[in-house]
A and B are shown apart, each in its own frame.
Chain A
Amino acid sequence: MGIVFIILSIILFTSLGTVKIPFKNVILAFANNSDNPLYDRIIFNLRLPRVIGTLLIGAILAIAGNDFQMIIKNPLADPFIIGISSGASFGAVIYTALKSVYGIDLPFGIETFAFIFALIATIITFSLAKEGKKIPVVSLILSGVIVGFVFNSISTLFTVLFWQNLLHVNFWLMGSTGNIVWNDLIILTIFLVLQIAVNFIFKKHIEVVAMGDEISIFSGINPEKIKLIVLTINVFAVSVVVSKAGIIGFVGLIIPHLVRKITGPNIYYSTIGSMIYGGIFLGFADLFSRYLFRPTELPIGVTTSLVGLLFL
């Protein structure tokens, strides 16, 4: 059922845009049977990588959110609470400042900078939160807030100083899947597969950790080890997403929360549910962002946040 849903939404999302392509032509193009080279170019060069990328990103964010909520035992946690987003913004701002303000030529692109600083911010958050061998949830959240605050302050300082050069960074940070190309889909797919693999292999372990630290220990499990494995894979996956598409909030918060209302905390069902509905939700958000405001776009992060507001 989920598969049918996804295929139908891919057709829908590919059809709609600044140039509207009839469903029939989309299907013909997919079937390699098209007679309209312009449609083909729009579909295969512009729209399809974006649509599939959006689905993958929605899936990754929602699965990450589900894992975070389960592992830190907070049904309304967001994967961004541990500093990933502020780290990535900081990386992007620093990159642009170095490049366009100071004219320094850098060997990596803005994506790589965002990715590296997302990881650095998370590592700082974890080391601040660490008490002995344990990482208590409350200190993790508090450290996330502190790290976010520090990184954001520096980013803001730079933005105030050099606002002309940094305006487009802010736009980029609010999220867009518009720059996704075919090549990006490979790395996104790899991380989605890794996320699913970890969840399926450690199903029982993740569930018992979500039940509580003591019951994990009484079941012969080291909860800190499981948390580390699950958080690491998700931090990497989300950092890759941020480097490709900026900061897209609320998907990782709302979707898994709603999915679990239906599936319960069972890891098989909640992971698959988060994947499907996270992808489709973000697909609709992207469609909304680019279709309603055509020929220009609303950043997708703004759209998801607006939708998120409806739930609050």
Chain B
Amino acid sequence: MANIAAQRIKREFKEVIKSEEVAKCAIKVELVNDNYTELKGEIAGPPDTPYEGGNFILEIKVPETYPFNPPKVRFITKIWHPNISSVTGAICLDILKDQWAAAMTLRTVLLSLQALLSAAEPDDPQDAVVAKQFKENAEMFHLTACHWTNIYAGGPSVNKDFDDKIKKLVEMGVDEHEARVALSSYNWDMERATEQLFS
């Protein structure tokens, strides 16, 4: 790893650890290996959003050319959000692409991701299905995102209705996560989800 990247990450790692957000348990970062090329990030779902109460794990890969190029970040925790792929966890956020600036840090990245959870940008989507639902059926989107937060990120709000529907599909031999994706994509319409799963 280039000297400059290592020097930066070491310092930023300390910066995050010492930051007030850590004190408030809002963001966290851990080393994955000794040479600072990979880190594990964690952000708390912001209040008054469907992600509230959840903890979201991030994979952070630091390129050799850091900080001249942004870190490669994706969600490990599955999440229902217009700018984050529900399949791969890939993130669509300008500062992780062409709007990156060398003075930005791990802390700014984590805080920006937290901000993204508070304010989705459905017109610049990563996940077209989620974005469509977000725009056309806000209530359904909210419920679905809450459900995903509950299941994958340890969020508090249990949705009995959704859980039952998934259970039915699982009893029919469908993989639980596949069932959840299908139901989420069809606004929890059992009939259409089943049709898609068995077609």
A associates with B: no
Residues of B within 8 A of A (CB): none
